[in-house]
Amino acid sequence: MTVLFQARGLRKAFGNGEHRRYAVDGVDITVAEGEALALAGESGSGKSTIGLIMARLLDHDEGEILFDGQEIGKCSARRAAQQPWRAQIQMVFQDAGGAFDPRLSISDSVALPLRRLSHSRGNALTHAVEDALDRAGLAGHLFRRKPHELSGGQLARAGIARAIALRPRLLILDEPTAALDVSVQAGILHLLNELRRDLNMAMVFVSHDLNVLRVLCSRVMVMEHGNIVEEGPVGRVFASPAHPFTTRLLAALPKWPRSEGLPHQLPGSALIIHSQ
């Protein structure tokens, strides 16, 4: 395992005076190359704040951040935009539509960060944009459309296209499918998994949806009140959680009836299986 990203002793407080509270309170995170890591927790647990700090879009108060062995936590988030590693760490948000300029076509929006961060121009730029949109599974006739002319699922794909166009080595996704129907979500989950596999992109999924994290990730970190309370392989943690908070999260998930042993496909049959 090659370590790609490492953060130690991260702390971040919001508010001031007596209202000052730590949203992230002493967190260590390691991400290996090409790994899919889940960051699970409820709203207010600090998971989105960690995502923003990892992407260097938000300044932390304490702790060190290493990317590819290099300290990247010292410069401010504002100055991070000019750093050479900027293109290598990208973030995708839940509200893909809000992240697009309503006046620009989708392909122009995808081109923007490429122009700024990778300095590509002309044919190379066009090619990179189209390749990213293609990989994200957006149909060609949609490239020139404005954001409001796309469906929620198409916009989510466009948001992913813009992030992967830069070929980042670390992609941080905050609830990337929370606003989507399951019919569309499944496609996006497959897409992300393929991108990770084909481009060896490490991904951090921030979500409160344990069922989505379960199918996508190999390792999970569970957050409560700014702390990591449990960490381990997804299979192990979900099957036998060690921390009471993880147990509570899993217990609150709606149960799915097991289909084993139940008769299938009985056209016109009067047989009824009672739910209780």
Partner 1 sequence: MPVLAPLLTVRRLSLAFALPQGGRASVLDGLSLDIAPQEALALVGESGSGKSVFALALLRLLDRHAEITDGEIRIEGEDLLHASDKRMQDLRGKTLAIIFQNPASSLNPIRRIGRQIADVLLAHGERSADAARRRAVQMLARVGIQDAARRANAYPFELSGGMKQRVMIALALAASPRLLIADEATTGLDVTTQAMVMDLIHEQARANNMATLLITHDLALAAERCDRIAVIHAGQLVESAPAARLLTAARHPYTRALLTATPHAGSTLANLRAIPGQAPDTAAADLPACRYYARCDRRTELCKSLPPMQTASSNGAHVVACHHPL
The whole-angstrom separation of Cα 55 and Cα 172 is 7
Confirm or reject binding of residue 255 to partner 1 (CB under 8 A): yes
The whole-angstrom separation of Cα 163 and Cα 146 is 18
Query: What b/e sequence results for 167-182 when a residue is b if at least 16 CB atoms lie within 10 Å of its CB, and e otherwise?
Result: bbbbbbbbbbbebbee
Binding mask 224-243 for partner 1 (x = CB under 8 A): --------------x-----
**Is the CB of residue 32 less than 8 Å from the CB of residue 202?**
yes
For residue 150 the two structure tokens come to 């796309």
Binding mask 73-112 for partner 1 (x = CB under 8 A): ----------------------------------------
**Is the CB of residue 53 less than 8 Å from the CB of residue 60?**
yes
Confirm or reject binding of residue 1 to partner 1 (CB under 8 A): no
Confirm or reject binding of residue 141 to partner 1 (CB under 8 A): no
Confirm or reject binding of residue 266 to partner 1 (CB under 8 A): yes
Window contacting partner 1 (CB under 8 A); options: 7-15, 17-25, 47-55, 251-259: 251-259
Backbone dihedral region for residue 165 (phi beyond 0: left; psi -120 to 50: alpha; all else: beta) = alpha
Determine whether 232 is exposed, middle or buried from the number of CB atoms within 10 Å of its CB (0-12, 13-18, 19+).
middle
Window contacting partner 1 (CB under 8 A); options: 6-14, 48-56, 124-132, 267-275: 267-275
Confirm or reject binding of residue 144 to partner 1 (CB under 8 A): no
Binding mask 25-44 for partner 1 (x = CB under 8 A): -----------------xx-
The residues of the shown chain that bind partner 1, judged by CB under 8 A, are: 42-43, 151-152, 181-187, 189-190, 193, 208-212, 214-216, 238, 248-249, 252-259, 262-270, 272-275
